[in-house]
């Protein structure tokens, strides 16, 4: 999945493919770096770089906001609950 | 009397000294985590409940082996994963692959679920849980361990017997796949979330 989906190179399919491949790789690197930043795994230099990119590059900013949205939602996922008798069954049956 | 506020270490010591009832504190604390992890594997509540019970029985019986060199949660999640894997091997549930995404059944469930009440009435929670249930068991477990289980990449590596860097890649891919699923099936709701 790439943040940049539309690239137009008129009349040159091979060049278009190469650009898309390069762009996808760059996007992937950017996305990984942003995830590292969100997860707090970046070193100070990387952190400064990401902050600068997010502030100056609309593509970085868009990706950051998207990934932050997913991250915040994932933090709020509620756990599933077993039946009310679950712990009783364990304590009465097997322990 | 051991209360929920007491430290796990103390609770474990009480159990090892013969206070069986203290184990219920650990069960109550971890039952939702363990049950959710198992449910990601089986996609069936009855099976999940049976396996999750088995996890706690195994944990109780091998509690003396817990040396405290990892978090108790990491230890019990490791038991959870190995119990799930052996259950799947035993039952030969070919349809539930660890690597393959689950699509047909889940999409069917979504359609029937949304048909009656309209998609607008479904909460973000439901949407996200549905999207997660479409992922492979491995993807959804990595997400669960990281976000709900509060496990680090190293700890997830121990649970899944993987190198932490491999876990990092798995986590990255799982989040990307989740994003793809949500964009594909819940684009309208996702747009609202992105817009804040």
Report the 3 state secondary structure along chain A: CCCCCCCCCCCCHHHHHHHHHHHHHHHHHHHHHHHHHHHCCCCHHHHHHHHHHHHHCHHHHHHHHHHHHHHHHHHCCCCCCCCCCHHHHHHHHCC
CA separation for the pair B34, B49 (Å, rounded) = 9
Q: Which of B49-58, B127-136, B153-162, B184-193 has the lowest mean pLDDT?
A: B184-193
CB contact under 8 A, A1 and B33: no
B1 pLDDT band (50/70/90 cuts)?
very low
Residue B87, pLDDT > 60, answer yes
How many other CB atoms are there within 10 angstroms of residue A79's CB atom? 15
Residue A11, pLDDT > 70, answer no
**Mean of the pLDDT values across residues A54-70?**
93
**Mean of the pLDDT values across residues B28-50?**
93
B68 pLDDT band (50/70/90 cuts)?
confident
What pLDDT is attached to residue B175? Answer: 94
Chain B residue at shortest CA distance from A65: B194
CA separation for the pair A17, B90 (Å, rounded) = 46
**Residues of chain A above pLDDT 70, percent:** 73
How near does any CA of chain A get to the CA of B60, in Å? Answer: 7
pLDDT digits (tens, 9 = 90+) for A18-48: 666 666 777 888 999 999 999 999 999 999 9
B41 pLDDT band (50/70/90 cuts)?
confident
**Residues of chain B above pLDDT 70, percent:** 77
Pick from B23, B178, B194: which is nearest to A95 by CB?
Answer: B23
Q: Which of A15-29, A69-83, B181-195 has the lowest mean pLDDT?
A: A15-29
pLDDT digits (tens, 9 = 90+) for B102-135: 644 443 344 333 333 444 445 677 788 888 989 9
How near does any CA of chain A get to the CA of B147, in Å? Answer: 5
How near does any CA of chain B get to the CA of A8, in Å? Answer: 23
List CB contacts of B1: < 8 A, sequence separation 6 or more: none
First to last CA, chain A: 48
For A57, half-sphere exposure in the C-beta direction (CA atoms, 13 angstrom radius) is 15
**Mean of the pLDDT values across residues B12-38?**
95
């Amino acid at each position: 999945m790439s943040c940049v989906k539309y690239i137009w190179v008129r009349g040159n399919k091979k060049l278009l493919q190469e650009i898309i491949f390069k762009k996808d790789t760059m996007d992937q690197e950017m996305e990984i770096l942003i995830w590292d930043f969100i997860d707090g795994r970046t070193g100070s230099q990387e952190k400064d770089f990401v902050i600068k990119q997010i502030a100056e590059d609309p593509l970085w900013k868009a990706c950051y906001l998207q990934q932050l949205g997913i991250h915040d939602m994932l933090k709020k996922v509620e756990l599933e609950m077993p039946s009310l008798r679950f712990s009783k069954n364990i304590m009465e049956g097997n322990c | 009397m051991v209360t929920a506020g007491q430290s796990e270490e103390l609770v474990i010591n009480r159990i090892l000294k013969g206070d069986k009832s203290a184990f219920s504190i650990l069960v109550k604390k971890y039952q939702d985590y363990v049950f959710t992890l198992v449910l990601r594997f089986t996609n069936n509540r009855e099976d999940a409940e049976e396996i999750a019970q088995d996890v706690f029985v195994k944990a109780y019986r091998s509690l003396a082996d817990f040396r405290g060199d990892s978090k108790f949660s990491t230890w019990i999640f490791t038991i959870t994963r190995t119990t799930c894997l052996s259950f799947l091997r035993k039952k030969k549930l070919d349809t539930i692959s660890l690597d393959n995404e689950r699509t047909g059944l889940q999409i069917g469930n979504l359609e029937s679920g949304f048909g009656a009440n309209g998609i607008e009435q479904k909460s973000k929670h439901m949407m996200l849980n549905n999207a997660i249930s479409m992922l492979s068991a491995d993807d959804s477990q990595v997400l669960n361990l990281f976000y709900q289980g509060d496990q680090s990449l190293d700890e997830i590596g121990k649970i899944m017997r993987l190198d932490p860097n491999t876990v990092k890649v798995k986590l990255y891919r799982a989040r990307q796949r989740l994003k793809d699923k949500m964009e594909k099936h819940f684009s309208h709701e996702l747009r609202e979330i992105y817009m804040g």
